[in-house]
Amino acid sequence: MLITRLSALSHTQRMAVFRLLMRRFPDALPAGEIADVLALKPSTASAYLATLTQVGLISQRREATWLRYTVNLDAARAIVGGLFQDCCQGRADLCPPSFYDLIGGISPAVDRKFNALFICTGNSARSIFAEAILRDLAPDRFDVYSAGTSPQPGLHPFALEMLVAKGHDVSTLRPKTLGEFQSPQAPRMDFIFTVCDRAANEECPTWPGQPVSAHWGMPDPAKFQGNVAERQLAFQQVYGAVHNRISAFASLPFHALDRVSLQKSVDEIGRKTSGQDH
């Protein structure tokens, strides 16, 4: 099975499908969205999805008339474990230290503050909400940053209005490019979260230090159409959803969790969609 799965991933575009679903985990994506993101013909995308499903690398489920696809994490772990056993003979001294750290399930260092980065496309609302909320909820445990893959010139006015109304200090908040956090001088991140689907869809360089990462996708309130009151409500609901996830994250017993448990915990938070106001 290891050789069969590696063969399925040896095709460049099938690997692209797998990597997209890995970046978007725990989301389950319809075939049409996968085809659109990767610029594939629908028939081509369906063929790739069928191959990956057949070897167990991804799973499908039906919702009404839609088939949605998600990564099979057990199969992904089996590939890594199989390579570790076959190529490294199970010996940590034969494998790169970073690989052994992942297998060993270590958590980030606990003798200092954690660095957390929230990423979305424009860095003008959702990721800014996350930065402000975590900074205020746990200033003694986190240094918090946010960035955009295509940052806007400034914060969205409704986002700024919401943050001020909730009592956050907005004096240091600004949209930032992702490149600010990819230089050798940038802080090394312990946690990286994408909070919009477009940012998660994009290929990003491997981050130094193998940070724990997760996708917490939520709708872009700036795209909501309606009158002023309805648009303000959309920002309020997204703020509530971000606050719920950040609160759950900040409450995790970091000192008691190994890396595998920590990853499962942040993935589970990403599955929650409550958007009640705070």
Which positions are annotated as active-site residues? 120, 196, 204
Residue with tokens 């772990």: 77
Strands 142-148 and 114-120 come out as: parallel
- What distance, in Å, lies between the first and last C-alpha atoms of the chain? 49
* CA 221 to the chain's CA centroid: 19
Geometric angle at alpha carbon 176, from 182 and 264, rounded to 5°: 65
Beta bridge partners of 59: 70
SS3 101: helix
Residue whose C-alpha is closest to residue 102's, from 262, 273, 239, 247: 262
Q: List Cβ neighbours of 179 (8 Å cut-off, separation of 6 or more).
A: none
Helix, strand, or coil (residue 201): helix
Q: Which structure tokens are listed for 176?
A: 């930032």
Locate 8 and state its tokens. 């399925």
